[in-house]
Structures are given as C-alpha cells and as structure tokens.
C-alpha cells in the first residue's frame, strides 16, 4: 500500500504494526559504496541504491549489494533533468540504464528514481512502458550540500521522521561519516528499516 499525491510515484510506504522507514542512496556506485555497505551490514539495515549506469562497471562491488539483501534501482544513464527532454529521450535514458544494470548484475530492475526528483507525465509513461516503479522520497537529508556540516544531515532527517517515509541520501563521504549515528538515532525514535513491499 503506497501513500503519494501522485499515485504513480512512491514517496512512502504504509507499514504494518511498527513504524518504519526506507533508506535510499542516489548517484552511485561511488568510491564510498564499500564503506556504506560495511555500515549497513554491521547495523543489519537494508537499503535501495539508485545508480547511474554510466558509473557501473563489472569491478564495482555490485554482487555484495545484492548478496546482502539490498536493492539496485535505475537513476538513468547520465543524470539529466528528464523534464527538459522529449518522451523518446526520456525513455532512452531510463531504458539504457536498466539494460546496462541488468546486463552486468543479472538482476531485474523494478524501481527507478528520476534525477533531481524532476518528472512529468512523459516520465511516468516511460516508466510504465519499461515496467519500473518511480520512487521519490518524503525526507531529503540534503547531504549533498553539507560537506562541511555533516551533523546537519542528522537534524534534517531526525526532525522530519514519519512512519513509512522514504529517506533520500547519497553515496558521499559526509553521509558515511554520520550514517552509523543516524541509524542509531532513527532506531531510538522507534523506527525499523525496511524495503519497498511491491
């Protein structure tokens, strides 16, 4: 069961008995992916990684991502603002990304996140034709702007926690720095970590 103003786009999930959040990371696979995976493994937290396929090579630790129960989704090939592109180009960006990720990982792509969170009717239609579900977010950590102030990432998330929220984070050094503390703080607020039940 999904809760969103646009019924075609997921921003949060309605949980069962206990409060939960979904942790997502954009713009990888990056150099800090292994560090993120180490933290997630130590804390037993699942996550969804939305990857730009231009950054994915066979040597990246994608096998570990899947083996440890995480999900890989598409974040297009080159991270364009899709609303500035005609339908055909949007379709191509998403399709090429899905094809490359599936070819390398052998795993079916079910989820897609539009770059910058920008989408229109053409984006939704392209996603529908490609059989992927668009996933947005309810809480943005703003981690990409907080290289000098990682603690603010914590505040941006903790102050806005709500049941079922999808959290937006990125594969960045400052995110790695606060991730263990952030996971602990979220749990202390009574939330568990889950994946999309789709």
Output the CA angle 144-145-151, nearest 5 degrees: 95
Catalytic residue among 3, 26, 197, 198: 26
Q: How far apart are CA 73 and CA 101, in angstroms?
A: 8
Burial 91-112 (b: 16+ CB within 10 A, else e): bebbbbbbebbeebbeeebbbb
Q: Active site includes 26?
A: yes
Q: Active site includes 170?
A: yes
Catalytic residue among 70, 75, 143, 170: 170
Catalytic residue numbers?
A: 26, 170
């Amino acid at each position: 069961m999904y809760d969103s103003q646009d019924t075609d786009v997921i921003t949060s999930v309605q949980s069962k008995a206990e409060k939960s959040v979904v942790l997502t990371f954009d713009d990888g696979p990056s150099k800090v992916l292994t560090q993120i995976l180490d933290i997630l493994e130590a804390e037993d937290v699942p996550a969804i990684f939305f990857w730009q396929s231009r950054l994915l090579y066979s040597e990246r630790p994608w096998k570990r991502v899947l083996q440890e129960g995480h999900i890989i989704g598409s974040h297009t090939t080159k991270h364009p603002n899709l609303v500035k592109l005609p339908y055909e180009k949007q379709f191509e960006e998403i399709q090429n990304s899905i094809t490359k990720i599936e070819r390398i990982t052998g795993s079916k792509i079910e989820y897609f996140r539009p770059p910058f969170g920008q989408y229109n009717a053409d984006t939704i239609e392209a996603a529908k034709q490609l059989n992927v579900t668009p996933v947005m977010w309810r809480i943005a950590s703003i981690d990409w702007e907080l290289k000098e102030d990682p603690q603010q990432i914590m505040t941006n998330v903790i102050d806005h926690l709500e049941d079922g929220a999808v959290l937006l984070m990125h594969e960045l050094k400052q995110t790695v720095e606060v991730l263990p503390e952030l996971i602990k703080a979220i749990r202390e607020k009574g939330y568990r970590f889950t994946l999309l039940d789709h």
